[in-house]
A and B are shown apart, each in its own frame.
Chain A
Amino acid sequence: MGRFIVRRSLSALALLFATSFLVFSFFELIPNYNPARAIAGRNANQTTVDQVAKKFDLDKPFYVQYLNTMKLIFTGQVIDYQNDLNVVDQFRQRFPVTLSLVVPAAVIWLTVSMLLGSISALRVGRLTDRAVMVGAIIGVSVPIFLLAALLLYLFAYKWSIFPNTGYTHFGDSPTQWAYHLILPWISIAVLSIGFYSRVLRSNLLDTVNQDYVRTARAKGLSSRRVFRRYVLRNSLMPIVTLFGLDFALLLGGAALVTETVFNLPGIGQFEASAIGNLDVPPILVGAIFTAFFVVVFSAITDVLYAVLDPRVRLTG
């Protein structure tokens, strides 16, 4: 276990630097892109542009700029080009919002998709199975922003059941917090519910025909026990892999669509506006942030694999 942690941390560090370097060099390659001119504004004269370039060290060679930016990021002093905000502070302030959006949504989609996938596989070919699969295929065909728009129209404007947009901190009022977040949670969860229940169903149906399941049945175990301990347990592996990556990406800002539509001040919303303005520092911090979660959750996924399947050994 100690070895596993050390090796994973080293490869994580390498990945973080590789990602940040790639993202940074990508912006160097954009034709006609001059960040100093973008910051200074369309009508700025050459002197202003030069001043801006000097302020952000944009006149230095590429590798100096990269090292400077990385140093500023890790000392928490990096500021964005657009609004002169401290990017690390922004992430710190906005992360709780993303967390309260993503974690409950993940709980919802995991629970519901496991229930639906199992029910569908157990009732395969019957009406229940068909109904669930029809729902699932519709779920994977609706883009998140459209579902969000539809939910907003129906529940916020037409029937006025839920508030339209905005966010209340959990500390201020837990009920208001949940009240404001129900529609965003559903918007994120539906796509994953559709996808995961389809995957789980087909895994379950593949596993049912395995020899060890037949052996377990032949031993006289109850069908409930066979399903839980043999079929479901072994079918969960691909779900665990999918979930680890999806969850990590959402925490790192991939919920930008939902956060934009519902005007939630999370990381994704910040990222979306930074991308729209080609504002490099927040994009870079976002990439590093996402890579961090991807690494952490892939390590957790591997540990979970070892728990679910005793044959799997943890190696770096």
Chain B
Amino acid sequence: MVYEPVSRSGADDDPDVAVVPLPSGSVLAGEYPDKDPWSEGQHAPAIGPWRLAGRRLRRNKTALIFLGLFLVLVAMCLLAPFYSNNIAQIGPNTNNVTGTINVRGHSENVVSLDGVPIGPTFTRHYFFGADTNGRDLAVRLLYGGRTSLLIGGIATIIIIVFGTLVGLLSGYLRGPVDAVLRWLMELVWSFPPVILGVVVGTALAFGGIGPIKGNSIFIPTLIIGGIYVPYLGKPIRGEVLRLREQDFVDAARVVGISPWRIMTSEILPNAMSTITVFVPIMLANCILLEAYLSFLGAGVQAPNASWGTLISDGLPYISTTPTFSLIPGAMLVLTVLSINVVGDGVRDALDPRAQVRIKT
């Protein structure tokens, strides 16, 4: 997103279009003192659509608050190693089935003799309790968040890169390229994401692909990215089909610019706002799909954790210690919710109809 980093003066800060006062000693000002400067060929400095969108977004307090919340959540997850090393002093995958800990003066088993893990202690050790292997859930919560965000982020990058590429090639070149790409997109599109992801995820977790082992987090990442590529590719293709008929593209073609240059420097900049609107939508959906896959055992594989696996692991204890499931659940919902709210803000800021919509 192209932001103006610091607004230079207060004058052009608020209104979308700034009226620039004429310099008092100028010829124009002297000659036409009573006339509206707008009609005399004097224009306010052009403001690009990105700067306008940036301003609209900056004025959207709700979106900014949730952007802040999202950054706090990301920061918490990034600090997982610090928490693990310095506060909890236990690794995310360190088992401690037979250990005991001191909770406010009396000693307790981390995992009781009949296999029930300890609940939240709210002390530096086992803050949110343990799992059946005696691992510290607070540490796993933060590491799991890192995994969830990492998978969501990389999958989103895959979707943006390949979705845009597929949309550009399919929409601009048309013909056989379009036919093949569209067929592939329809194929993926026609299966529900969760079911497709679970089938492919289970299958690949079983055998791995090539050099990637079955329990690597890159398998769910690739699957999630692959599943959602058509969800971006199709709208981009539609946008490109519309743009390629515009006069400026014809002009570029007549001048003899290569198709690839036309795609990247004529069409792509005009499709950027559509792509930008899809970034938060895709990020939220990728994180959610990862949670669904992990919940169903087809996503992140042991010993790695993600919010989805943690919710799933806690489910057997939902009647006695609901926090096992509900705390990773709350982290997941807060993350997805904040991305969705920011995404709504971005859409409203970039959508030319946004103003009309608010007034109706």
Pair from one complex: yes
A contact residues vs B (CB 8 Å cutoff): 19, 22-23, 26-27, 30-33, 124-125, 137-138, 140-143, 145-146, 149-150, 152-153, 156-157, 164, 202, 205-206, 208-209, 249, 253-254, 256-257, 260-261, 271-272, 275-276, 278, 283, 290, 294
Contact yes or no, B194 A254, CB < 8 A:
yes
Minimum CB distance partner of A268 in chain B: B195
Contact yes or no, A278 B202, CB < 8 A:
yes
Contact yes or no, B298 A149, CB < 8 A:
no
What residues of B have a CB within 8 angstroms of the CB of A152 in the complex?
Answer: 318-319
Contact yes or no, B319 A153, CB < 8 A:
yes
Contact yes or no, B199 A283, CB < 8 A:
yes
Stretch at the interface among B35-43, B226-234, B332-340: B332-340
What residues of B have a CB within 8 angstroms of the CB of A27 in the complex?
Answer: 203
Contact of A137 among B190, B202, B315, B337 (CB under 8 A): B337
Contact yes or no, B318 A141, CB < 8 A:
no
Q: In this assembly, does B356 line the interface, its C-beta being within 8 Å of a C-beta of chain A?
A: yes
Q: How far is the CA of A156 from the CA of B332 in the complex (A)?
A: 23
Contact yes or no, B208 A31, CB < 8 A:
yes
Q: How far is the CA of A159 from the CA of B292 in the complex (A)?
A: 27
What residues of B have a CB within 8 angstroms of the CB of A208 in the complex?
Answer: 360
Instruction: Determine which residue in B322, B341, B358 has the highest number of CB atoms from chain A within 10 A of its CB, and name it.
Output: B322
A32-B207, A153-B318, A276-B297 in contact; A254/B192 too (CB < 8 A)? Answer: yes
Contact yes or no, A257 B296, CB < 8 A:
yes
Q: How far is the CA of A141 from the CA of B70 in the complex (A)?
A: 14
A137-B340, A209-B360, A294-B190 in contact; A272/B318 too (CB < 8 A)? Answer: no
A153-B318, A256-B195, A278-B202 in contact; A146/B325 too (CB < 8 A)? Answer: yes
Contact yes or no, B337 A143, CB < 8 A:
no
Minimum CB distance partner of B347 in chain A: A202
Contact of A205 among B337, B340, B341, B357 (CB under 8 A): B357
**A20 nearest CB across to chain B (Å):** 13
Q: How far is the CA of A146 from the CA of B310 in the complex (A)?
A: 11
Q: In this assembly, does B198 line the interface, its C-beta being within 8 Å of a C-beta of chain A?
A: yes
Contact yes or no, B333 A31, CB < 8 A:
no
Minimum CB distance partner of B356 in chain A: A209
Contact yes or no, A124 B360, CB < 8 A:
yes
Minimum CB distance partner of B288 in chain A: A143
**Known interface pairs A149-B311, A275-B296, A276-B296; 13 further A-B residue pairs with C-beta atoms within 8 A, sorted by A's residue number:** A30-B206, A30-B207, A32-B207, A141-B337, A143-B291, A145-B292, A146-B326, A146-B332, A149-B325, A153-B318, A153-B322, A157-B319, A256-B195
What residues of A have a CB within 8 angstroms of the CB of B318 in the complex?
Answer: 149, 152-153, 157
**B27 nearest CB across to chain A (Å):** 45
B contact residues vs A (CB 8 Å cutoff): 187, 190, 192, 194-195, 198-200, 202-204, 206-209, 284, 288, 291-292, 295-298, 311-312, 315, 318-319, 322, 325-326, 329, 332-333, 336-337, 340-341, 344, 353, 356-358, 360
Contact of A32 among B199, B206, B360 (CB under 8 A): B206
Q: How far is the CA of A202 from the CA of B356 in the complex (A)?
A: 12
Contact yes or no, A26 B203, CB < 8 A:
yes
Q: How far is the CA of A71 from the CA of B137 in the complex (A)?
A: 50
Contact yes or no, A164 B319, CB < 8 A:
yes
What residues of A have a CB within 8 angstroms of the CB of B353 in the complex?
Answer: 206
Contact of B292 among A156, A205, A257, A278 (CB under 8 A): A257
Instruction: Determine which residue in B209, B312, B333, B353 has the highest number of CB atoms from chain A within 10 A of its CB, and name it.
Output: B333
Contact yes or no, A253 B203, CB < 8 A:
no
Contact yes or no, A146 B311, CB < 8 A:
yes
What residues of B have a CB within 8 angstroms of the CB of A271 in the complex?
Answer: 195
**B226 nearest CB across to chain A (Å):** 13
**A295 nearest CB across to chain B (Å):** 11
What residues of B have a CB within 8 angstroms of the CB of A19 in the complex?
Answer: 190
Q: List 22 A-B contacts (CB under 8 A).
A: A26-B200, A32-B208, A138-B333, A141-B284, A141-B288, A142-B336, A143-B295, A145-B292, A146-B311, A146-B329, A146-B332, A149-B326, A152-B318, A157-B322, A209-B356, A209-B360, A254-B192, A260-B296, A272-B296, A275-B195, A275-B202, A276-B296
Contact of B326 among A32, A141, A153 (CB under 8 A): A153
Contact yes or no, A150 B207, CB < 8 A:
no
**B173 nearest CB across to chain A (Å):** 25
What residues of A have a CB within 8 angstroms of the CB of B194 in the complex?
Answer: 254, 256-257
